[in-house]
Structure 1
């Protein structure tokens, strides 16, 4: 069975691999802090803000993670090619994609959050129905006056790169709009009916701040500067703002399943566009990096790390999900 990673559980060989002395391994004190190393990772921009905070904290514990926020699509490609120590994606890998990774794949939920519809129009308070939301991104609603605000052109901004944020946003649009599902669909990249593209959550947020009347979709942590978030209608008909509490309510409706990859594109309760986001780890062949990876994932799933999620615009994982995620992380070797 997989074992929790701590100094007492390490075999002698693993201890030596991790750079620990046998005395340290057999001592009664916790020697986890003696595991040190460097890791490279790439992927989703959705969790980049909290990952960077966690990796900054980890650097003081002897683990340095170079995380490149390149989008879920690029992260999956780099992970599949074996050019990083782990990847990150807001859309779980499908079986046919996993089959291309000879070392096997472990998908570990690490944090969660809301995808906000962010807009740059300070004089307007948007509360959108599901029909209005779809019509904006279909290019059928083109002026804020059609939404009960003063006359101003709507300028749509969407992701230009392959993105798990895009997948989750378009998956919601497909769930609420038959027209969107038939003509555009849900994927990490789609053929947008309207708007201009920007790279990453960071890029969309920056672009929206520069465009008067801009509207787009970003992880809640990126609603900053002149931007505000719209209230969106959920499946029960309520119009809900994205907050930690409303996102948590919606996430509670998601059954992750045995492989920890579940979703709900149109929840009845809470804010309607929410997602978990996953670290992609190699099941085997991690060799000397195994203790460093386990220390990294152990910290990311710790109470200390998870407690920082709300202040950074994310949602802490439910305790039962943390338990499942830790078991998944411990299965790598």
Structure 2
């Protein structure tokens, strides 16, 4: 047999095995887990899932970064094995899933205001300034509200190009939750939404799309997850926090924000305007959404093993990509909740 025929035959056998393993019934030796949802944690999730699959050839995890809204919809429609959302799930959404869901915080991160402004390496934005930029009331970079907190900085007489999300987004939900918390006009006119009716802004899909738009459009500003800004080497504004301090986004300032809130029993914790002199003001947990029960033991075991890896070994790589490792007490709570996921009882014979 020639080497080319051998390679071709081996490839065919591999393809057949993968096809059998990815079928609806699965196999004893291969499990494919399908997930979809938030773009906010996607770089970290993809790193975790790739690392796990590389060391476990009997498990494949496919995660699609489609936005939190679509992730929740996919869970409700039962087109995935797990979803992911920065907006958690609302009680009515949870109630619509037969058998129930289990939300598991897996990491945390900051929502930053990244900008593209030549010659401006440091920028401080007051609460008044950044709310009014996204309300469309501040339209120039040399607006007095921005100048007032940036003494000595040469701010151009240039229009502000605001970039917002086009899709149903947990990052948007977290950002609007913060803006609504600190400004009554924003709360009443825009509100807390995954896909609000923004009064201003060009739209891009996903954290990936907003990052690309900021990177390629001079004079722009937009909200993205911290790790995306770091990866694209975008400048990030220091934001005024509840204590009146201007805080740069960092792992440390995010951890200071997380210290202000305890994780409740349902594992859904919010910090829309955290306390603390050193706390960065826009920080959130992000959740993987599992079903309470699954139809077969192989899926349950694979899912638990993957997520246990993410909660333990995986946390060590969080900071490298701009995410905040979960506090040990939270890891313990999440692991206990993970244990509650079971195999559904077979239907009774009729």
Q: Shorter-normalised TM-score: what interval?
A: 0.7 to 0.9
Residue 88 of structure 1 aligns with which residue?
84
Counterpart residue number, 2:39: 45
RMSD, aligned α-carbons: 1.4
1:215-254 matches, cutoff 5 A: 215-223=221-229, 224-225=231-232, 227-254=234-261
Match of 2:172 among 166, 186, 192: 166
**Secondary structure at the counterpart of residue 60 of structure 1:** helix
**Equivalent residue number for residue 214 of structure 1:** 220
SS in structure 1 of the partner of residue 89 of structure 2: coil
Superposition TM-score, scaled by structure 1 size: 0.88
Q: Tell me the secondary structure at the aligned position of residue 35 of structure 2.
A: strand
User: In structure 2, what is the Cα distance between the partners aligned to 1:18 and 1:175?
Assistant: 49
CA distance in 2, matches of 1:330, 1:119: 43
**In structure 1, what is the equivalent of residue 61 of structure 2?**
65
CA contact under 8 A between 1:255 and 1:263: conserved in structure 2?
Answer: no
Q: In the aligned structure 1, how far is the partner of 2:299 from the partner of 2:275?
A: 43
TM-score, with structure 2 as normaliser:
0.84
Deviation at 1:103, TM superposition (A): 2.5
Matched residue, 1:10: none
Partner residue of 1:129?
A: 126
Query: Which SS does the other structure have where 1:40 is aligned?
Result: strand
- Kept in 1: contact 2:118–2:218 (CA 8 A): no
Unaligned runs of 5+ in 2: 1-25, 148-154, 343-350
Alignment partners' CA distance in 2, 1:277 and 1:286: 26
Q: Based on CA coordinates, which of the two structures has the bigger radius of gyration?
A: 2
Query: In the alignment, is residue 256 of structure 1 matched against residue 256 of structure 2?
Result: no
Match of 1:114 among 106, 110, 113: 110
Partner Cα distance (2:288, 2:53) in 1: 19
Equivalent residues in 2 for 1:251-330, closer than 5 Å: 251-269=258-276, 270-287=279-296, 288-302=298-312, 304-330=313-339
Q: CA deviation at 1:36?
A: 4.9
* Pairing partner for 2:203 from 194, 197, 206: 197
Contact 2:260–2:274 (CA<8 Å) still a contact in 1?
A: yes
Moved runs in structure 1, 4+ residues, more than 4 A? none
- Find the aligned partners of 2:209 and 2:200 in 1 and give their Cα distance: 18
Q: 3-state SS of the aligned residue for 2:289?
A: strand
Structure 1 residue 226 displacement after superposition: 5.5
Partner of 1:332: 341
- Assess, with a 3 A threshold, how the Cα gap between structure 1 residues 97 and 248 changes in structure 2: closer, same or farther: same
Question: Structure 1 stretches of 5 or more lacking a match?
Answer: 1-16, 20-34
- Conserved 8 A contact 1:131-1:176: no
